[in-house]
């Protein structure tokens, strides 16, 4: 088992110690500012969990809500205020945003040094070029951290990522490439998906399609990371079909795998953003 919950707890404990040490030196607590537009209950739940984790490690959090009908300009104005606020270490604008909001403008409006989601093209560009100094996106860096701490060898592995979104699939592929995996990215136009996945020593399923990855599509002994958070009958399921656990060598539980790691990376990014901005 690649136990995301347990590994995330280790990271929370580590950050709590570091935050405590900074506060003891008289430095300000890091602060996470979250923004939700609209009243999507799933977004509210995700943000509550992220704030709870931040508070648990001693990071302050402040929640901003805009109504569903808020304009792009109103959201940009709020982001500008948070960019200028000295006390704010990190800004998280929860996605999805209502359709009328210009997502690109929003993503580029967040100051890259406070972009704790790692979505700004400046940070994404550093990841793409394999350069240090930026902020890495939370879910992809959480996946790599989980593989590392689980003892999965990344260098030289055939890694197959199913999904190519800017927030999960693509950056996960780039982080694995940086670690010298041989990476294949699959998507809806991929011919013979199973032909690719059967070759994967590391298989990252991030398609958001329940039962997409069946047992016969998994190489025996592979490390399988089930990223997706699909809702079925009120519970969370990933992309894996029944029996994958019988062939996989490593497997993330779902829930309890990538989700907690994403939140742990957010907390870590917020702490590190604060340290970088105000050493």
Catalytic positions, please?
50, 94, 117
Minimum CB separation of residue 228 from ligand NAP in Å reads: 3
Q: Which CB, 78 or 118, lies closer to ligand NAP?
A: 118
* 130 vs 138: CA distance, rounded Å: 16
CB 163 within 8 A of CB 193: no
Q: In this complex, which beta carbon is closest to ligand NAP, that of residue 112 or of residue 140?
A: 140
Strands (E), the chain: 31-37, 60-66, 90-93, 158-162, 182-186, 202-205, 223-226, 230-232, 235-237, 250-251
| Cβ atoms within 10 Å, residue 214 | 14
Distance (Å, rounded) from C-alpha 95 to C-alpha 22? Answer: 31
| Residue with smaller CB distance to ligand NAP, 78 or 262 | 262
Q: Give the nearer residue to ligand NAP in terms of CB position, either 30 or 169.
A: 169
What does each C-alpha distance from 243 to 10, 196, 220, 271 come to in angstroms? 30, 19, 12, 39
Q: What does the binding site for ligand NAP look like in residue numbers (CB under 6 A)?
A: 139, 162-165, 167-169, 186-190, 193, 206-209, 212, 227-230, 258-259, 262
């Amino acid at each position: 088992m690649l136990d995301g919950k347990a590994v995330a707890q280790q990271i929370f404990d580590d950050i709590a110690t570091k935050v405590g040490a900074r506060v003891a030196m008289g430095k300000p607590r890091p602060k996470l500012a979250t923004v939700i537009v609209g009243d999507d209950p799933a977004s509210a739940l995700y943000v509550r969990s992220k704030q709870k984790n931040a508070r648990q490690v001693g990071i302050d959090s402040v929640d901003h809500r805009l109504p569903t009908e808020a304009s792009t300009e109103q959201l940009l104005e709020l982001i500008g205020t948070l960019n200028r606020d000295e006390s704010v270490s990190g800004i998280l604008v929860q996605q999805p945003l209502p359709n009328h909001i210009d997502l690109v403008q929003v993503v580029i409006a967040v100051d890259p040094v406070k972009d704790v989601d790692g979505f700004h093209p400046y940070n994404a560009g550093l990841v793409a070029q394999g350069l240090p100094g930026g902020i890495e996106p939370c879910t992809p860096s959480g996946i790599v951290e989980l593989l590392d701490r689980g003892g999965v060898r990344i260098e030289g592995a055939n890694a197959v990522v199913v999904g190519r979104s800017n927030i999960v699939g693509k950056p996960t592929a780039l982080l694995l490439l940086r670690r010298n995996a041989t990476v294949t990215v699959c998507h809806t136009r991929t011919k013979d998906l199973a032909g690719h996945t059967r070759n994967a020593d590391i298989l990252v399923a991030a398609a958001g399609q329940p039962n997409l990855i069946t047992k016969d599509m998994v190489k025996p002994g592979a490390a399988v990371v089930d990223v997706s958070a699909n809702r079925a009958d009120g519970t969370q399921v990933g992309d894996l079909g029944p029996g994958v656990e019988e062939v996989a060598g490593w497997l993330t539980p779902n829930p309890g795998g990538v989700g907690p790691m994403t939140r742990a990376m957010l907390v870590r990014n917020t702490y590190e953003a604060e340290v970088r901005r105000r050493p």
